[in-house]
A and B are shown apart, each in its own frame.
Chain A
């Protein structure tokens, strides 16, 4: 077994929280620049320019790219031969969120109870998904998620007879109904298959893939491209004020499912498409 001290995890997680909120990924920035070159709406162009300029200002390290620094969602790949010492893995990550959101001047956006709504004042607890993998490494990915785009997400238990067309229509219609709310340009995560809860997880996990990355299965790669084209024909445009750039990309993730089901889910990600990983 390889031992990793909880404190090491906490320190790395704190850094991830800060880095994710101040440094926009190169894939997102490149795709925003490509969209700017193609955008036909003058307002849309002006908005894309502001978003790109904003990313540059955030990078200086004083202002996070968006004031909504999100719910801290983690995807963890835990090597089977890793032993976390001192605290549980979840506790170590939670402590890292507390530290990172404090030291990084990030907004605390979590309430302790969904109905009584008292702010926890340190952005905890996070949402942590752990998968075990072979080996002795620990990979932690953070994806802080803003409320504006998360609220525009949906699970739809379709009938198997609805088929690929039914799934595609659901996705496009969901994006149309979301309109300006998720701060377009957006990235669209689509989950297909599994169960009610698994499909939502798939849609969220799909958002971690870099922009421009295609599903390895040619059938789903083609579906991603078709969905992207249909979504960008909606005309919603940057911030919903009209234009060609509604989505930067669409990622589809699938899982086997029950003979009677066709679970489908859409998780929308705003242009503040933040994720950062560390391998310990």
Chain B
């Protein structure tokens, strides 16, 4: 693992191309939260040809359902949730210019294909490192679907949010490479 790469959102194609599976990154800027229910709403709007309540161009979507914020804190603990549940939705958001996702766990071949086609990136945050991640989140503002509670879309302002590139726009996949490298056959 090389040194840590710092990136700032919104991302450009050139920045995304420099990211490779296994790279450690620190993200600064705006990221948008969304999980199952919000994705369904966004994708339904796209199907109807309607505009989305947030402009995802160049931005990253973070799969998270935080714990409640204490008074005076922007957010509670905020680690990633399982990305595989968003396999069906992710390619549709990448197609309209979102530059990638942050979650945990491997995403499927359809997503891998969409990452290549749309020059975008899938990163993972450490599942269960939710208190540590929360410290990198400086502001949280609900921007859509307030009625969904913890599942509403929030705009997070982050500074040095820690993540690892899991699946890149070149077809790289750390899950497959990492396990092949460290697996021991009897």
Contacts and interface: CB of A to CB of B under 8 A. Distances in A.
A67 B130 contact: yes
B131 interface: yes
Interface in A186-214: none
B100 to A, nearest CB: 17
Interface in B116-164: 124, 126-132, 134-135, 149-150, 162, 164
Interface in B64-93: 64-70, 73, 76-79, 81-82, 84
A112 B119 CA distance: 41
B50 interface: no
B77 A64 contact: yes
B184 A62 contact: no
Interface string A169-181: 0000000000111
B104 A64 contact: no
B109 interface: no
22 contacts: A41-B178, A41-B182, A47-B129, A54-B128, A64-B76, A66-B130, A67-B65, A68-B65, A107-B77, A107-B150, A148-B81, A148-B104, A179-B105, A179-B175, A180-B105, A181-B82, A235-B184, A237-B179, A238-B126, A240-B178, A240-B179, A272-B128
B186 A239 contact: no
Contacts of A107: 65-68, 76-77, 150
A65 B128 contact: yes
Interface string B17-43: 000001010000000000000000000
B180 interface: yes
Interface in B41-64: 64
Interface string A222-238: 00000000100111111
Main SS of chain A's interface residues?
A: loop
A75 interface: no
Nearest to B24: A46
A68 B128 CA distance: 8
A235 B182 contact: yes
Contacts of A241: 22, 124, 164, 166, 174-175, 178
Contacts of B179: 179, 234-237, 240, 242
Counting chain B CB atoms within 10 Å of each CB, the highest count among A41, A42, A50, A272 belongs to A50
B37 to A, nearest CB: 10
Contacts of A62: 70, 73, 131
Nearest to B37: A117
Contacts of B79: 66-68
Interface residues of B, number: 48
Nearest to A55: B131
B82 A148 contact: yes
B178 A243 contact: yes
A63 B84 contact: no
Contacts of B81: 68, 148
Nearest to B1: A42
A40 interface: yes
B66 A67 contact: yes
Nearest to B176: A242
Contacts of B104: 148, 180, 183, 239
A267 B184 CA distance: 24
Given A57-B132, A235-B180, A236-B179, 10 more contacts: A42-B1, A43-B164, A50-B129, A54-B126, A63-B67, A64-B67, A241-B174, A242-B175, A242-B179, A270-B127
Contacts of A233: 183-186
Counting chain A CB atoms within 10 Å of each CB, the highest count among B65, B81, B183, B186 belongs to B183
A119 interface: yes
A43 to B, nearest CB: 6
Contact of A43 (B22, B106, B183): B22
- 5 smallest CB-CB distances across A and B, nearest first, come from A242-B178, A235-B183, A235-B182, A63-B131, A183-B127
A237 B180 CA distance: 11
B131 A57 contact: yes
